[in-house]
Amino acid sequence: RQCERIRSVIGPGETVSHIEIYDGSFFLIAPGYLEGERYLPTDMTSFTNVVCGIPPGPENLELAADRSAQLSLETVGNIQADHVFLSAFTGAEDTVREIESSALWSRVPAVANGRVYDAPPLRWSSYPSYQWSLAQRADAVTG
């Protein structure tokens, strides 16, 4: 059900990227990773890519092995996703303001089109927390 809600806003062929912010740093989260022959969601926030079948932004394709990549204000403009989930841990407010005031951030397609969604970060790894995270993202996109 949560995937249906998300897909009602994120159209066919549109992409989603996930950014987590904490301790003054921000990271692009990989859509999943290979474990043997299984492709699994990361234990962070990208359940929407793997479970809901929504493709990640093109900038995510090289991250499957690393799970995440630290961004800088200079590289944040490389994000090309149609939609972005922004997950900020407590205490990251200054970093969020710094990113959001960046000229490069304003050129990200998701930002330019008003498709950036606040979504609480996943704080623990378990199936119920993944379901909670997915519900939070569905709530964020559907208002």
Q: Are 132 and 138 in contact (CB under 8 A)?
A: no
One-letter identity of residue 41: P
For residue range 92-128, list pLDDT tens digits in order.
889 999 999 999 999 999 999 999 999 887 665 566 6
Report in angstroms the alpha-carbon separations of 99 from 63, 83, 85, 138: 21, 16, 14, 24
DSSP state, residue 62:
G
pTM value is 0.83
pLDDT of residue 61: 67
pLDDT of residue 8: 94
For residue range 19-76, list pLDDT tens digits in order.
888 888 888 877 665 555 554 555 445 567 767 878 888 777 665 456 677 888 888 8
